[in-house]
Structure formats: C-alpha cells, structure tokens
Amino acid sequence: MTRLVIHGAAGRMGRRLIAQAAETEGLSLAAAVEAPGHERIGSDAGTLAGIEPIGVPLTDRLPAAGQADVVIDFTTPAALRPLLPAVSAAKLGLVIGTTGLGDDDHAAIDAAGAEIPIVQAPNMSLGVNLLLDLAAKVAATLGEDYDIEITETHHRFKKDAPSGTAMGLAEAICHATGRDTGRDLVHGRHGAEATRMRGEIGMHALRSGDVVGRHTISYATLGEELQLTHLATNRDIFARGALRAAAWLTGRAAGRYGMKDVLGLENG
C-alpha cells in the first residue's frame, strides 16, 4: 500500500488526485496539504474533492517521517521550492507535475534526487510521453528541410507559457536534431521582418476557454505537411499518470526519474 500526500490538494489537479486515489487499489491518502492560511484548512479532503468524506482533513503540514511514502505536487514553482527540502528531510518519494520550472528549480530537483527518489515530468499522460518520443524521431528523420512549429492551447487560467509539455517537446526535438533551446526557439512572431529562419522551431501559446490541453507539432516543407497532435479532454489522464508514478516510485532508490522509467519505455 502506497501512502500518498497530495500537495496543492485544494487546486484543480489536487482535487482530482484525491478523487482518483480513492478509487485506486493499493493507494491510500495519508495527508492533503495546502498553503498555511488557506480558507479550507480543516475541511475533509473527500468533501473538497466532491466525493464522500474520507476522514482526512486538509492541513498545512507534511506528515512526519514514517507516516507516508510519496508526495505528489501539482502547484507552482514558488510552492515547490520550500517543499523540496521538507520532503528530503522526511525521506519521502516525490512526484512533480508542476510546470514553469526554471534552471535553478531543476538544479534543486537534481540535488534532492541525490537524497530521495523523484519522478518529474512536464506531463504525466501516457499519450504525451509517447508523443515526446515520436516528435523527436520524426524531426530527426525528416531533417532541416521541414519547418517545425509547436502550438499549445490551454484554458484561460493557465499562468505559465509556453506549457511545460510544449517545452518538453521542443527539448526532445532539439536533442534529436542537434538544435539548442536557447538559440533555436522562436516564441511567437510579429513585426515587419518576421521571416522564418532555417532550423528554427516556432513556439506558440494559445489561452482559450476551458481547454484542458492540446499540443500540435507541425512539420512542413514545400508540398506537404505532417502534424502530430495530442488532445486532453479532462484532467484525469494527468491524475492517473501521477498516481501510477507514485505507486512505481514507492521503495525506489534515490534518483531523478521520468515517465519513460515509470512506463518502461526505451530511451532514445
């Protein structure tokens, strides 16, 4: 039995994680954690998630060492930063679904990964992780004669742009083709001189209504275009992936893992 802690439990993803965990064999909710001063502190986590009460109150503290196994975090970079040393001190596993992370954040995750097992991914869905592999392989096969554009669409409330998944796709393509994310990504285009340059990857972020997530990679040359698209129709695909990662992580050695490890996908 994996004893879970949901960090950011009152958020949209946190509530879905609680509801999905309650229906998943082999998982139990040890704690539902929110920021100090949150208005729902003390509320039953099940009621908060729209299911039957489960006897776990929303709290602002992590469980003590030995009282849980894995923390799942879907919050913000600012909320994740103080969580890392706290989880490391408690010797818990950590699944990170938070996006918008910078280089310093990834360095901190690397450091924590020397002490505890961590799964971190820009997207937890199986389909997206297969798309990451496909996007890289298609780019490497087609070569520089094909222009690459990545478009992502999310709901109007999403804060970071481009999405973590879009950046993951760009990084996978750059790794497979010898490009550089600092040099070859172009974020949107405007102005009188916005002609496309050979080898660049266009990045475009749309924010619209209640779209859960749509990612499209376009590969186009003179005469043809190939598109790869992943569409998420609800948040449960991310919750199920994170819960699967948490169960997989239980008992693992310290290290930084990805969804390829969880899903048993080959590297490359």
- Which token pair is 164? 């973590």
* Percentage of residues in the chain having pLDDT higher than 70: 99
CATH architecture of the domain 2-120+235-263 equals 3-Layer(aba) Sandwich (3.40)
Active site includes 91?
no
- Residue-wise pLDDT for 172-218, tens only, equals 999 999 999 999 999 999 999 899 999 999 999 999 999 999 999 99
Pick the catalytic residue: 154, 204, 215, 230? 154
**What is the distance between the alpha carbons of residues 60 and 35, in angstroms, rounded to a whole number?**
6
- CB under 8 Å, gap of 24 or more: what pairs does 33-42 form? 33/5, 33/6, 33/7, 33/8, 33/9, 33/58, 33/59, 33/60, 33/61, 33/62, 34/8, 34/9, 34/10, 34/58, 34/59, 34/60, 35/60, 35/79, 36/60, 38/10, 40/10
Active site includes 7?
no
Pick the catalytic residue: 38, 137, 158, 260? 158
CA dihedral 259, 137, 104, 164 (to 10 degrees): -70
- Residue-wise pLDDT for 97-140, tens only, equals 998 889 999 999 999 999 999 999 888 998 998 899 899 999 99
Where, residue-wise, is CATH 3.30.360.10 in the chain?
126-232
- Residue-wise pLDDT for 35-64, tens only, equals 999 999 999 999 999 999 999 999 999 998
List phi, psi (to 5°) of 172. Answer: -65, -40
In this predicted structure, the answer to whether residue 268 has a pLDDT above a threshold of 60 is no
The CATH homologous superfamily for domain 126-232 is Dihydrodipicolinate Reductase; domain 2 (3.30.360.10)
